[in-house]
Structure 1
Amino acid sequence: MENSKGKLYLIPTTLGDNEPLEVLPMSVKKIIERTDHYIVENEKTARRFIKKISPRKSQPNLTIYLLDKFTDILEIQNYLDVCAKGVNVGLLSEAGVPAVADPGASIVQLAHQKGISVVPLVGPSSIIMAMMASGLNGQSFAFNGYLPIEKGERKKSIKQLEKLSFDKNQSQIFIETPYRNEKLLEDLKQTLSGQTKLCIAVDITLSTEFIKTMTVNDWKRQKVNLHKRPAIFIIHKM
């Protein structure tokens, strides 16, 4: 029977090196304490997180399945087989919530195909938290992932997103690899219209958190250190 199957729990983690229970509800701790099978991007950091949130949990009893860019797609097909025996599986993100800007979406899709219940747990999403704090259009927004690396293509993409935000009155969200943040900011300053609103949200939930929304012209007069800091960028042309 379907009800006897194990469930797939989507388990959020912290967005940085802070105490898990500062940003995660007790329900996450409770699920971790009774779950021994996990699908993770990095075994070392996953075990460290599990130990931090549940110190008494037996690490040798954990079964860890890796899900990264090197994982064979055929191997993934077996990751949820234990659910048929009534065993729960936790999908654990490296930072924030699983399956959003995260490779876990393929596992969630597999769960739906196999008739396995998917249970999302409450936790910090840098994308949603940045949108909340931006003051931009929370009624209509889009997440666009990473912009192109090549400078010409990136500037073209920036202009397209700016036009889209104006035409649809829709805030456009995107991210960058932390060591390329400052190059992206320079391209945004050079490419966007001066009165376009730009929100930069850095180190969300950490003690170094910085979130500010200004016009591009104002950003041109502002100095901010974004190097190697997780950041969310949101633009909106009114």
Structure 2
Amino acid sequence: MKPASNPEPGRGFMIGQAPMRAKQLEPALYLVATPIGNLGDVTLRALEVLAASDVLACEDTRVTRVLLERYGIRRRTTAYHEHNAADAGPRLIAELEAGKSVALVSDAGTPLISDPGFRLVDAAVNAGIKVVPVPGPSSLLAALAASGLPTDAFFFAGFLPVKNGQRKSILTEMTTIPGSLIFLESPRRLAASLAAMAEVFAGRPAAVCRELTKAFEEIRRGSISELAAHYESAGAPKGEIVICVGPPAAGTEARSQDDIDKVLLSLAAEMPAAKAAAEAARMTGGRKGDLYRRLLALRDDGQQA
């Protein structure tokens, strides 16, 4: 039996041993979702677009090269990422305005989620260029679906700030969001973020989803306090991490004084008292003067203790 030949460079791909020819694309910016781990999760449409686009822009060309080689796609690639977006973006818009098709991919999952693709899409929309989504894998939806938490309403919060006070402030603002919360986090900051969540979201169910679709996939469920205690003792895990936290219980009342005190002290650890009181007023709806006096009282109590 004669072995199958490779598809035409730049215009085809392989499914098993079968060469496939991609259809010609109309000029547009294509946002192509790629696998978050398991290369078998790529869609046929994504492969067609990657093979047929005039320009293939990648967050990291080395990462995308692995996917291209897996499916026999022989393409030149160009880099588009956070550090070169100011220069690379206008060049890609120029290609689009010249009537070419441009495919944009991130390292994994759907473009624009925690990457600079938004700027390119914004520029394309403002220039009247067609933007075409090519949907597929997403770590956010995969984690939420497997978490066991409510999926009817959810809020994606991305990565939390590094500083603990800012982290707690952001989390406190989310306490009344009527849906599940989804966060991305790095292994080395996981324990600190979970500890902050345990303070702010005490009692809520949660899940830590790690290495989704990969060989060492792990989904650990429990209360946010249980998860915080586990990773505090177990240390930093390896791999990509998504944290899902359940919504507030039905009938949850306004923040308690204890919650407000925690917000005040967290903010005051990183900014002057007056500014901390103003920020806490914005977050809680309280009066700046009352919160300022409360902060001074808390500090006095702390010094006397």
Q: Shorter-chain TM-score: what band?
A: 0.7 to 0.9
1:70 aligns with 2:87: no
How many Å separate the matches in 2 of 1:46 and 1:10? 14
- Shift of residue 233 of structure 1? 1.1
- Shift of residue 226 of structure 1? 4.9
> Quick check: 6-15 or 216-225, which moved more?
216-225
- Shift of residue 74 of structure 1? 5.2
Contact 2:194 2:228 in 1 (8 A): no
How many Å separate the matches in 2 of 1:119 and 1:229? 31
Aligned partner of 1:170 in structure 2 is 179
Contact 1:23 1:124 in 2 (8 A): yes
- Shift of residue 178 of structure 1? 3.1
The residue correspondences of 1:45-64 to structure 2 (distance < 5 A) are 45-53=63-71, 55=72, 57-59=73-75, 62-64=76-78
Aligned partner of 1:9 in structure 2 is 30
How many Å separate the matches in 1 of 2:126 and 2:59? 22
For residues 159-197 of structure 1, what are the alpha-carbon distances to aligned partners after superposition, in whole Å with 9 as ceiling and x for unaligned? 332x223xxx221221122332233233333x1454211
Identity %: 25
- 1 or 2 for the larger relative contact order (CA 8 Å, sep ≥6)? 1
- Unaligned runs of at least 5 residues, structure 2: 1-24, 250-305
How many Å separate the matches in 2 of 1:143 and 1:170? 10
User: Does the residue aligned with 2:176 lie in a helix, a strand or coil?
Assistant: helix
How many Å separate the matches in 2 of 1:5 and 1:30? 13
Aligned partner of 1:37 in structure 2 is 55
Aligned partner of 2:241 in structure 1 is 231
2:130 to 100, 111, 117: 117
Distance 1:52 1:179, change over 3 A: farther
- What TM-score, normalized by structure 2, do the two folds share? 0.65
How many Å separate the matches in 2 of 1:93 and 1:125? 11
How many Å separate the matches in 2 of 1:228 and 1:96? 19
- What TM-score, normalized by structure 1, do the two folds share? 0.81
Contact 2:34 2:137 in 1 (8 A): yes
Return the letter of the residue paired with 1:183: A
Return the letter of the residue paired with 2:215: S
1:184 to 193, 197, 201: 193
- Shift of residue 222 of structure 1? 4.3
How many Å separate the matches in 2 of 1:24 and 1:216? 33
- Tell me which structure has the larger Cα radius of gyration: 2
- Unaligned runs of at least 5 residues, structure 1: none
Contact 1:200 1:212 in 2 (8 A): yes
For residues 134-169 of structure 1, what are the alpha-carbon distances to aligned partners after superposition, in whole Å with 9 as ceiling and x for unaligned? 2323222111111111122223333332x223xxx2
> Quick check: 115-124 or 224-233, which moved more?
224-233
Distance 1:232 1:63, change over 3 A: closer
1:105 aligns with 2:113: no
1:145 to 142, 145, 158: 158
- RMSD of equivalent CA atoms: 2.4
Distance 1:137 1:197, change over 3 A: same
User: Does the residue aligned with 1:81 lie in a helix, a strand or coil?
Assistant: helix
Distance 1:24 1:58, change over 3 A: closer
- Shift of residue 96 of structure 1? 0.7
How many Å separate the matches in 2 of 1:92 and 1:220? 34
Return the letter of the residue paired with 1:6: P
Aligned partner of 2:211 in structure 1 is 203
Superposed structure 1 runs of 4+ greater than 4 Å apart: 220-226
For residues 57-102 of structure 1, what are the alpha-carbon distances to aligned partners after superposition, in whole Å with 9 as ceiling and x for unaligned? 334xx251x2222225254123122223432111011111101222
